[in-house]
């Protein structure tokens, strides 16, 4: 979630019809869970590239992602056809947490702005190049159980 500075706040002196503190109670949480919740509440994920560039952790995460994309040969640069525009991209930022409330890593993903595409004009097929490990394990288990060949 983006940092709370981007969320509207109540005007000074105003109050909510249903104040959240009337309905939330942290007394039943374990101390480790309270620590985790506090840690999550204190960290902010940037909403924009400009915000992310102000912090070394996010710059490092973006650099690591670019290196991984290059190393995996995810893309190749090609000239655009005459009269065509490229599809833009944007960065998405996420903090990955350990169960104890400490930060495991800062993750940055570069995603295409697919919502700008028009079917039949600048794409014909859709695909998701990412598979969840659990899905792969299930498929392998089926293949083994049924004696299916794998390619």
Q: In a structure prediction context, what are the per-residue pLDDT tens digits for the chain, which is 151 residues long?
A: 564 444 444 444 445 666 666 777 778 888 877 777 777 777 789 999 999 999 999 999 999 999 999 999 988 888 988 888 888 899 999 999 887 778 899 999 999 887 777 777 767 777 667 778 888 899 999 999 999 998 8
pLDDT at residue number 20 = 65
Q: What are the backbone dihedrals phi and psi of residue 87, each rounded to the nearest 5 degrees, phi first?
A: -85, 135
pLDDT at residue number 9 = 43
Tokens 């400009």, residue located: 50
Q: Where are the beta strands (DSSP E) in 50-102?
A: 89-97
Cα 53 from Cα 108, distance rounded (Å): 12
What does each C-alpha distance from 91 to 4, 10, 41, 49, 66 come to in angstroms? 18, 30, 22, 7, 11
- Please name which of 87, 111, 106 lies closest in space to residue 96, comparing C-alpha atoms: 106
pLDDT at residue number 10 = 42
pLDDT at residue number 97 = 86
pLDDT at residue number 15 = 54
Residues 6+ apart with CB under 8 A from 111: 89, 90, 91, 92
pLDDT at residue number 69 = 92
Cα 87 from Cα 146, distance rounded (Å): 43
Which H or E element spans position 4? none
Cα 140 from Cα 126, distance rounded (Å): 24
pLDDT at residue number 107 = 96
| Residue positions counted in the chain | 151
């Amino acid at each position: 979630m983006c940092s709370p500075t981007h969320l509207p706040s109540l005007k000074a002196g105003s109050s909510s019809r249903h104040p959240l503190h009337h309905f939330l109670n942290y007394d039943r949480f374990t101390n480790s869970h309270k620590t985790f919740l506090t840690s999550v509440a204190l960290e902010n994920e940037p909403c924009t590239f400009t915000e992310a560039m102000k912090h070394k952790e996010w710059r490092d995460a973006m650099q690591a992602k670019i290196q991984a994309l290059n190393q995996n040969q995810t893309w190749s640069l090609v000239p655009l056809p005459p009269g065509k525009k490229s599809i833009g991209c944007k960065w998405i930022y996420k903090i990955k947490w350990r169960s104890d409330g400490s930060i495991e890593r800062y993750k940055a993903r570069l995603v295409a702005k697919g919502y700008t595409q028009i079917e039949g004009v600048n794409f014909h097929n859709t695909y998701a190049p990412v598979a969840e490990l659990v899905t792969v394990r299930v498929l392998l288990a089926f293949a083994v159980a049924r004696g299916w060949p794998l390619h």
